[in-house]
Amino acid sequence: MELTLVQSDDWHLHLRDGELLQAVVPHSANHFGGAIVMPNLKSPVTTTAAAIRQVLMRSSLQARSSKVVFAIKLYPAGAITNSQEGVTDLLGKCSLVLEQMVQYNMPLLVHGEVTDPNHITTMDAVRFVESCEEGFVAATVTPRHLLLNRNVLFQGRLQPHNRCLPVPKEKSTAIVSAVTSGSKRFFLGTDGAPHERRRKECPCGCAGIYNAPAALALYAKVFEEAGALDKLEAFTSLNGPDFYGLPRNTSKIKLIKTSWKVPESFSFSFGDIIPMLQVKH
Residue of 27, 111, 161, 195 marked catalytic: 111
Where do the H-state alpha helices sit in 38-142?
A: 48-53, 60-65, 90-103, 122-131
Q: Mean pLDDT: which of 59-63, 78-82, 106-110, 168-172 is highest?
A: 106-110
14 an active-site residue?
yes
70-93 average pLDDT score: 71
pLDDT band at 275 (very low <50, low <70, confident <90, very high): very high
Q: What is the pLDDT of residue 248?
A: 96
**Per-position b or e across 17-33, b if 16+ CB within 10 A of its CB:** eeebeebbbebbeebbb
pTM over 0.75: yes
Residue of 27, 73, 145, 200 marked catalytic: 73
Contact between residue 58 and residue 104 where contact means Cβ atoms under 8 Å apart:
no
119 an active-site residue?
yes
Rounded to whole angstroms, the Cα distance separating 265 from 281 reads 16
Contacts of 120 (CB under 8 A, 6+ apart): 112, 113, 114, 166
Per cent of the chain over pLDDT 90 is 51
169 an active-site residue?
no
Architecture of domain 2-273: Alpha-Beta Barrel (3.20)
pLDDT band at 1 (very low <50, low <70, confident <90, very high): confident
92-116 average pLDDT score: 82
Residue of 10, 12, 145, 161 marked catalytic: 12
For the cut 60, the answer to whether the pLDDT of residue 60 exceeds it is no
Residue of 10, 14, 27, 200 marked catalytic: 14
Q: What is the pLDDT of residue 244?
A: 94
73 an active-site residue?
yes
Q: What is the pLDDT of residue 151?
A: 80
Of the two residues 61 and 133, the one the predictor is more confident about is 133
What is the residue extent of each domain of the chain? 2-273
For the cut 90, the answer to whether the pLDDT of residue 113 exceeds it is no
For the cut 60, the answer to whether the pLDDT of residue 56 exceeds it is no
Q: What is the pLDDT of residue 112?
A: 67
Residue of 10, 161, 191, 200 marked catalytic: 191
138-148 average pLDDT score: 91
> Over the stretch 205-228, which tens digit does the pLDDT of each residue have?
888 999 999 999 999 999 999 999
